Amino acid sequence: MDSAVEQKNLGNEAYKKRDFVTAHKHYDAAIALSPKNCTFYTNKAAAYFEEGKFEECIDECKKAIDIGRETQADYKLISKAMARIATAYIKLENLKDAMYWYEKSLAEHRDPDIVKKHKQLQKDIQEKERLSYIDPEAAEKEKAEGNALFQKGDYPNALKHYTEAIKRNPENAVLYSNRAACYQKLMEFHKVIEDCDTSLKKDPKFIKAYLRKGAALVAMREFTRAQRAYEDALILDPNSREAREGLNNCYRSNDEDPAKARERALEDPEIQEILRDPSMRLILEQMSQDPGAVQEHLKNPEVLTKLIKLKDAGIIAMR
């Protein structure tokens, strides 16, 4: 066996035992015997990585890349060294340089594992940027600007400030409700409902979001869904005059033919998604064959929510 390869194998054995001091001695011996073999440098880099010596790992990988270029080594080996540099930079919390080296690695060879790591790093960088942008104090300033413009009737520009406020403080339920008010004025009712739903996920007891959602649904003549929104508002505040008036308006206005209401409901993307769900289709089939089967399914909160949506849309009947 080649002496250099023998030293490398001895280094690998020590590496597996996490005896990195011994591993380095053998890798250095292999490099001394065969200084143009880039694999020996990447093996030494791997030992540095496991030791937490990430800067040394990066330096060794760069040597491997230079030697690999010089000797026209397999592009997969060069790609592997570049990917290890990226991983070391992640450990050093230098995501920008990590991204650079992952991209260089993929330019050499699109290893599926590296593709996954690259995509995850992209997500991590985006999330880090999003979190670094959060500033509740700045959000309040944007909200105040939005409120002032809203009062002046300048809804498009108020919308911009509320959107910026949301980016600055995405957990604030009030901001989504404020933006929903802009969308209401601009007659973008689907967006009103989206923002109200997001607001209620942040704060399920925020009554104003229910009221705005109800008003948007009334404007869309979806009185059954609006009725549900106003009923939820009244659960939170039985004395809410706005919720009571909204509910009464739904009762007076809901003269739509049930068949037409059902047809329109089937065009709703949310309803379509529920009906496409294989598990929900199975449940609905069970209910049609055995009405008593519904009781068991109602114990699951997620299924209950979906069944209520189908009931409110007139798709199914439930007592």
Q: Is the pLDDT of residue 184 over 70?
A: yes
CB 98 within 8 A of CB 89: yes
Q: How many CB atoms lie within 10 A of CB 207?
A: 19
pLDDT tens per residue across span 48-93: 999 999 999 999 999 999 999 999 999 999 999 999 999 999 999 9
Structure tokens at 119: 């995509």
pLDDT at 258: 61
The rounded mean pLDDT for the chain is 91
Lowest-confidence segment of 47-56, 197-206, 287-296 by average pLDDT = 287-296
Q: Is the pLDDT of residue 315 over 80?
A: no
The mean per-residue pLDDT over the stretch 218-242 comes to: 91
Q: Is the pLDDT of residue 248 over 70?
A: yes
What is the fold, at CATH topology level, of the domain defined by 136-255? 1.25.40
Using CA atoms, how far residue 47 sits from 35, 36, 89, 91, in Å, is 18, 19, 16, 15
pLDDT at 266: 72
Nearest to 267 by CA among 220, 317, 214: 220
Q: Is the pLDDT of residue 16 over 70?
A: yes
pLDDT at 319: 57
136-255 and 263-312 share one fold: no
| Every domain of the chain and the residues it spans | 3-132, 136-255, 263-312
H helical segments located in 34-111: 38-51, 54-70, 75-91, 95-108
CA atoms within 13 A of residue 277's CA, in its CB half-sphere:
16
Residues 6+ apart with CB under 8 A from 77: 38, 39, 42, 64, 68
The mean per-residue pLDDT over the stretch 167-179 comes to: 96
Question: Over pLDDT 70: what percentage of the chain?
Answer: 94
The mean per-residue pLDDT over the stretch 19-27 comes to: 96
Cα–Cα distance measured from residue 294 to residue 318, given in angstroms and rounded to the nearest whole number: 9
pLDDT at 265: 67
Cα–Cα distance measured from residue 128 to residue 6, given in angstroms and rounded to the nearest whole number: 45
Cα–Cα distance measured from residue 309 to residue 290, given in angstroms and rounded to the nearest whole number: 20
pLDDT at 301: 79
Quote the radius of gyration of the chain (alpha carbons, Å): 31
Give the pLDDT band (50/70/90) at residue 283: confident
pLDDT at 1: 47
pLDDT at 252: 84
Class of domain 3-132: mainly alpha
Cα–Cα distance measured from residue 151 to residue 286, given in angstroms and rounded to the nearest whole number: 53
pLDDT at 256: 57
Residues 6+ apart with CB under 8 A from 268: 313
pLDDT tens per residue across span 256-280: 556 666 676 677 778 888 888 888 8
CATH of span 263-312: 1.10.260.100
Cα–Cα distance measured from residue 279 to residue 283, given in angstroms and rounded to the nearest whole number: 6
pLDDT at 269: 79
Question: Over pLDDT 90: what percentage of the chain?
Answer: 73
| DSSP labels, 249-308 | HHHHH----HHHHHHHHTT-HHHHHHHH-HHHHHHHHHHHH-GGGHHHHTTSHHHHHHHH
Cα–Cα distance measured from residue 215 to residue 189, given in angstroms and rounded to the nearest whole number: 9
Nearest to 71 by CA among 32, 36, 108: 36
